Amino acid sequence: MENKKTKHNSSMVATVKRRRNSSTIFLVIFIGLFIAIISQSFMSNNANDAAPVELTFSDVLARSGEIETMKIHEDIATGTLRDGTKYKATISYDPEMLAKIAESGATITIDNSKSMMDGFLTWFPIILGLLFIFWIFRGIRGGVGGIGRSLMNQNPTKITTDKPKTTFKDVAGIDSEKQELMEVVDFLKNKEKFRALGARVPRGVLLAGEPGTGKTLLARAIAGEANVPFFATSGSDFSGIIVGLGVAKIKEIFEMAKRNTPCILFIDEIDAIGQRRNSYAFNDQDREQTLNQLLIEMDGFANDTGIIVIGATNRPDMLDAALLRPGRFDRQVHIDLPDMSGRNEILNLYAKRVKVANDVNLHDLARGTTGFSGADLENLLNEAALHAVRNGRDKIAPIDIEEARDKILMGPRKVRKMRPEDKKLTAYHEAGHAFVSMMYADIIDPIHKATIIPRGRALGMVQHLPIDDKVSMTLAEVRAQLSVSLAGRVSEEVFFGADKITTGAESDIASATRLARYAITTAGLSPRVGLAAVHQSSNFSGHSALENASEKTAELVDDEIRNWLNAAHEDAKKLLVKNRKTVEKLANELLTRETLTGDEIKQIVFGNKKTAKRKKSAKK
C-alpha cells in the first residue's frame, strides 16, 4: 500500500515538473519578444530625439529643391532639408517624382528591410504552432491516455471527497423515501447477508424531484449512515469544449471509486450528460460518448463491488432509457414536495439551529407554506432571523415569521405614495375577497389575514391558511373559489361603478380562468363538455391549443369557461349587494388598520350574529 502511494506521489511530482517546464518555455518566449519590441522602440526614439516636421505629399513635390536626403520605407519618407530640418511624409511610390527630386541634388535611398514588429507578427504564430505540436507528441509519448491525462491536468474534475457526518436524523419530511434507501445502507454495512441469499443490491439509485427537496442531503445521509467515503461531482463537470475530455473524466472518477470501495458515488444534475439520445443530434457526439462511457462503467460493476452510484435530477423525463434499465439505475426514488406533517418536521429540525420565541407556532407556519420545499422552509427561517436581527430582537418572533413569509410569497414591502382614491379602491377590492371567503368558510380554506400593504407587484392580498393538504377539489369548492377570486373585481363595480373598475384584478381573473379551464377540460366537471379529457398544450409559437379537439369542441370549451366565470361573478355580486354595509365596514377597517387577521375579519362579518346564535342554543 505504501509503495502505491509513493508511486502516485512521484507521478504527481513529475506531472507538476512537466507543467512547470511547459509554462517556463512559454514565459521565456513571451519575455524575450517583449524585451526585443521595447528595445527597438527605445532605440528608435533615441535615434530621433527631435520630432520631425510632418509634410504632405504636395509639400514634398513643391519643396523638392530643398530636400537634401530622403529615405523611403514602404510608403513613409524621412530625411533632412538643406537647412538641417528633419521631416516625415507619407508618399506614393512614383519613379518620375523620385527622378525629379534626385535631379535637384537630393540623395535618395530605398529601405526594404523588415521591422522587429513585422518579424514578430510573422514568426509568433509559427512558434506557437511548433510548441503545440511538441506538446501533443509529448502527450503521445506518455502512453495510452497521455493526452487525456494532460488535458485533465489543465481542466480537473471537481470531486468532493469525504466521509459525511450527515445521517438520516438530519433529513426530515421524507420518511417514505428514507425507508426506500435503507436497503442501500444495509448493503454497505452488511454485504455478507445479501450475498448469502443471492440478492443483488441496486447498483444505482436515481433521486428525482423538485429543486430544494433534499436530494443531495439524502445522498450524503446514506453515506453518513453507512460510514463510507462519499465522492460527489456534477454532470456539468464532464462536459467541455475539448472532445473526449468527458470520457477521460468518467474513467478517472470511477477508477477513484474502485480504489475506495465500499463507497457512494454521487452525480448531481446527471441530466447534463444523461440526456436521451436521438438520431438528429449529429453535433453533440461528445456528450453521447460521455454517456456511453458512463453506461459501460456502470454495466461493468460486479455485484459485490460495494460501489453505489446515486444520481440526482430535476428532469427524469429527459434521461436516456439505457441509463434507467435494471443493472444501472435499478431504483428510482421520486422526492415530492413535503406535505403538512413533513413541513412541520422540517421546520422543527431547522428551528433547533436558530433561536425561536416560545409564542411562534410552527404548526400554523407549516399550514401556511403549502408548496414550499425543504430549502424554501430553511430560507424562510433564515429570512425571519435576519428580520429579527435588524429589529434588535434576540429571538425570532411571530412578526418576523409573518414578514419573512410575506416577503417570499409576494416580494419585499414597497414604499409607494398612493393616491387616497387608489388606497380606498384597494381596500374595497380586498374587502370583497375577504367577505365572500367568509361566506364560503365551510367550503374553502379559512382566512389567515387581509392586508392592503403593497408588496412586489401586489397592492394588497387576502391570505388563506389551509387546515390540511388537499389532493382534490369538489365541484362546490371549485365554484366557491371562482366566486372568491372574482369578488375583488365585483366589489369595485358595486361600490365605485362599472366605469371605475381597474386592472388590479388581472391576477385574479387569470387564476380563475386557469381553474375553470382545468375543471372543464381535464377534471371532467362540466356536464356540457362531458368526461372527455381535452388537455391544454403549448406549441412553439407560444400560443395554446386544445389536443384532440375539433373546432366545435374548442368553441364549446371557451363558451363553458365564460359561463362558469359569469356565474361566479353574479354569485359574488349578489352576496356583496345584499351585505353592502358589512363590506363597507370591513373596507373602512382595512383603511384604518391596513392589516386584519382572520379572527378580526370574522368578528366584523359575523360578530353579533354568532353571539346571538350561541345564546339561543344555550337557552335551549
CATH number of the domain to which 315 belongs: 3.40.50.300
pLDDT at residue 69 in the model: 80
Pairing of strands 160-162, 307-313: unpaired
Helices (H), 171-237: 175-189, 191-197, 215-226
- Pick the last residue of a domain from 68, 95, 110: 110
Q: Name the domain count of the chain.
A: 4
The DSSP 8-state label assigned to residue 174 in this structure reads: -
Of 391, 169, 207, the residue nearest 311 (C-alpha): 207
pLDDT at residue 47 in the model: 46
Residue 276 lies in a domain: yes
- Pick the last residue of a domain from 352, 385, 410: 410
Of 107, 108, 115, the residue nearest 43 (C-alpha): 115
Q: Are 531 and 616 in contact (CB under 8 A)?
A: no
pLDDT at residue 27 in the model: 58
Q: Is pLDDT of 163 > 60?
A: yes
Of 266, 308, 311, 271, the residue nearest 291 (C-alpha): 271
- Measured CA to CA, the distance from residue 558 to residue 569 in angstroms comes to 17
Of 291, 296, 264, 253, the residue nearest 158 (C-alpha): 253
Q: 449 phi and psi, to 5 degrees?
A: -165, 165
Least confident of 229-238, 251-260, 279-288: 279-288
- Measured CA to CA, the distance from residue 565 to residue 569 in angstroms comes to 6
- Measured CA to CA, the distance from residue 439 to residue 497 in angstroms comes to 23
pLDDT at residue 42 in the model: 52
| Better-scored residue on pLDDT, 421 or 160 | 421
Q: Is pLDDT of 548 > 70?
A: no
Mean pLDDT, residues 331-357: 90
Residue 38 lies in a domain: no
Q: 595 phi and psi, to 5 degrees?
A: -135, 135
- Measured CA to CA, the distance from residue 541 to residue 564 in angstroms comes to 28
pLDDT digits over 193-232, tens only? 877 887 777 788 999 988 888 888 898 888 888 888 888 8
| Better-scored residue on pLDDT, 215 or 243 | 215
Band of residue 9 on the pLDDT scale cut at 50, 70, 90: very low
Q: What is the distance between the terminal CA atoms of the chain, rounded to a whole angstrom?
A: 90
Q: What secondary structure, in 3-state letters, does 250-305 show?
A: HHHHHHHHHCCCCEEEEEECHHHCCECCCCCCCCCHHHHHHHHHHHHHHHCCCCCC
Band of residue 132 on the pLDDT scale cut at 50, 70, 90: low
pLDDT digits over 176-198, tens only? 888 888 878 888 888 778 778 87
Is there a single domain that holds both residue 312 and residue 459?
A: no
pLDDT at residue 584 in the model: 93
pLDDT at residue 303 in the model: 53
Is there a single domain that holds both residue 264 and residue 391?
A: no
- Measured CA to CA, the distance from residue 548 to residue 156 in angstroms comes to 51
Name the catalytic one among 180, 297, 430, 560: 430
Of 63, 149, 153, 136, the residue nearest 106 (C-alpha): 63
Residue 393 lies in a domain: yes
Amino acid at 469: D
pLDDT at residue 470 in the model: 78
Mean pLDDT, residues 306-318: 87
Residue 371 lies in a domain: yes
Residue 310 pairs in a beta bridge with 205, 266
- Measured CA to CA, the distance from residue 358 to residue 381 in angstroms comes to 15
576: its cell numbers: 356583496
Q: 71 phi and psi, to 5 degrees?
A: -120, 120
Residue 355 belongs to domain with CATH number: 1.10.8.60
Identify the H or E element spanning 557.
helix 551-578
pLDDT at residue 297 in the model: 83
Q: Identify whether 96 is a catalytic site residue.
A: no
58: its cell numbers: 504636395
Mean pLDDT, residues 260-284: 78
Residue 498 lies in a domain: yes
Residue 240 lies in a domain: yes
pLDDT at residue 137 in the model: 58
| Better-scored residue on pLDDT, 540 or 373 | 373
pLDDT at residue 1 in the model: 43
Q: Are 173 and 340 in contact (CB under 8 A)?
A: no
Mean pLDDT of the chain: 78
pLDDT at residue 601 in the model: 92
Q: Are 482 and 437 in contact (CB under 8 A)?
A: no
- Measured CA to CA, the distance from residue 425 to residue 499 in angstroms comes to 13
pLDDT at residue 184 in the model: 81
Is there a single domain that holds both residue 187 and residue 260?
A: yes
- Pick the last residue of a domain from 387, 410, 433: 410
Residue 85 belongs to domain with CATH number: 3.30.720.210
pLDDT digits over 555-591, tens only? 899 999 999 999 999 999 999 999 999 999 999 999 9
pLDDT at residue 155 in the model: 43
Q: Is pLDDT of 383 > 90?
A: yes
Of 187, 406, 407, 400, the residue nearest 305 (C-alpha): 187
Q: Are 308 and 188 in contact (CB under 8 A)?
A: yes
Is there a single domain that holds both residue 250 and residue 327?
A: yes
Amino acid at 169: K
Residue 155 lies in a domain: no
- Measured CA to CA, the distance from residue 162 to residue 323 in angstroms comes to 26
pLDDT at residue 54 in the model: 73
Is there a single domain that holds both residue 92 and residue 240?
A: no
Three-class SS state of 441: coil
Is there a single domain that holds both residue 167 and residue 200?
A: yes
Mean pLDDT, residues 136-154: 47
Least confident of 382-396, 408-422, 449-463, 491-505: 408-422
Mean pLDDT, residues 344-364: 91
Which residue is it, cell 530621433?
Answer: 48
Residue 309 pairs in a beta bridge with 204, 265
Instruction: Give ∠ CA 9-138-284 in degrees, rounded to 5.
Output: 95
By CB atoms closer than 10 A (0-12, 13-18, 19+), residue 482 is buried
Is there a single domain that holds both residue 57 and residue 194?
A: no
pLDDT at residue 618 in the model: 32
pLDDT at residue 34 in the model: 59
Residue 128 lies in a domain: no
Which residue is it, cell 516625415?
Answer: 88
- Measured CA to CA, the distance from residue 513 to residue 516 in angstroms comes to 5
Is there a single domain that holds both residue 344 and residue 330?
A: no
Where b means 16+ CB within 10 Å and e means fewer, 252-264 reads: bbbebbbeeebbb
The percent of residues in the chain predicted with pLDDT above 90, rounded, is 25
The whole domain housing 456 covers 420-612
Residue 463 belongs to domain with CATH number: 1.20.58.760
Is there a single domain that holds both residue 250 and residue 298?
A: yes
The percent of residues in the chain predicted with pLDDT above 70, rounded, is 74
Is there a single domain that holds both residue 404 and residue 425?
A: no
- Measured CA to CA, the distance from residue 46 to residue 616 in angstroms comes to 113
Least confident of 312-326, 408-422, 494-508, 582-596: 408-422
| Better-scored residue on pLDDT, 332 or 32 | 332
pLDDT digits over 73-106, tens only? 667 778 787 777 887 777 766 677 777 777 777 7
Is there a single domain that holds both residue 368 and residue 477?
A: no
pLDDT digits over 477-518, tens only? 999 999 999 999 999 999 999 888 988 889 999 999 999 999
Is there a single domain that holds both residue 431 and residue 405?
A: no
